[in-house]
Amino acid sequence: MTARTAPGEPADEWVMLAYRIPREPSTPRIAVWRKLRKYGVYQLADGVAVLPASPRTREQFDWLAEEVVEAGGQAEVWTAAPTTQDQRDRMRAKLSEDRAAEYDEITGAAAAARSLPDPAGRAKKLAQLRSRLREIDKRTFFPTAQRDSAESALRELAAGRPGAAPERARTEAR
């Protein structure tokens, strides 16, 4: 069933995982927590996580629900829609803020890598950061300006233009 919205308003359907997993052994609980972080979920409440609905996010939650049940827990996957614009905006803003912070980390790491004296070290760091960017992109549901900044910082690093260390650059700018 698809969430109904006012005419002209885009549908805003979310997939929700409600779960409960035993505390012991802790390994399955930690594995679930790590996967939820990897998926970039909005934690609605303890044991309730949501993501914008898509075939991929539904499949991710279905698989995770199976893991929870196999670990002796309980899990259900539902589709849902926020009932107010405030709820919708809060979830979208939180997901965007989380991804923006991750993209900012990429930008900072790329700037720091530009000061590495060894071209091989810069190349290795560039490969790591590109991989991290792709991982973040997989869990980015709403565009952020910080994504463009991270991409630009990686292009500068790839161009091989060594830069001043971030600390020195800030000091010199004063």
pLDDT digits (tens, 9 = 90+) for 93-149: 999 999 999 999 999 999 999 998 888 999 999 999 999 999 999 999 999 999 999
Which tokens hold the place of 155? 């292009």
Q: Same domain for 46 and 101? A: no
Length of the chain: 174
Q: What is the DSSP string of 24-42?
A: SSHHHHHHHHHHHHHHT-E
Last residue of a domain, one of 81, 97, 127: 81
In this predicted structure, the answer to whether residue 160 has a pLDDT above a threshold of 60 is: yes
Residue type, 106: I
Q: Which domain holds residue 20?
A: 14-81
Question: How distant is the alpha carbon of residue 147 from its chain centre?
Answer: 12
| Predicted local confidence at residue 7, as pLDDT | 41
The 3-state DSSP composition of the chain as helix, strand, coil percent (nearest 5) reads 60, 15, 30
Mean pLDDT of the chain: 87
Is 61 inside any structural domain? yes
Higher-scoring residue by pLDDT: 18, 171: 18
Average confidence (pLDDT) over 83-95: 93
| Predicted local confidence at residue 162, as pLDDT | 53
The residues facing 78 across adjacent strands are 16
Question: How distant is the alpha carbon of residue 58 from its chain centre?
Answer: 16
Is 2 inside any structural domain? no
Question: Cβ-count burial of 8 within 10 angstroms (0-12 exposed, 13-18 middle, 19+ buried)?
Answer: exposed
Domain count, the chain: 2
Confidence of residue 12 (pLDDT cuts 50, 70, 90): confident
Please name which of 125, 150, 155, 128 lies closest in space to residue 140, comparing C-alpha atoms.
150
Confidence of residue 2 (pLDDT cuts 50, 70, 90): very low
User: Cβ contacts of residue 82 below 8 Å, gap of 6+?
Assistant: 12, 14, 88, 91
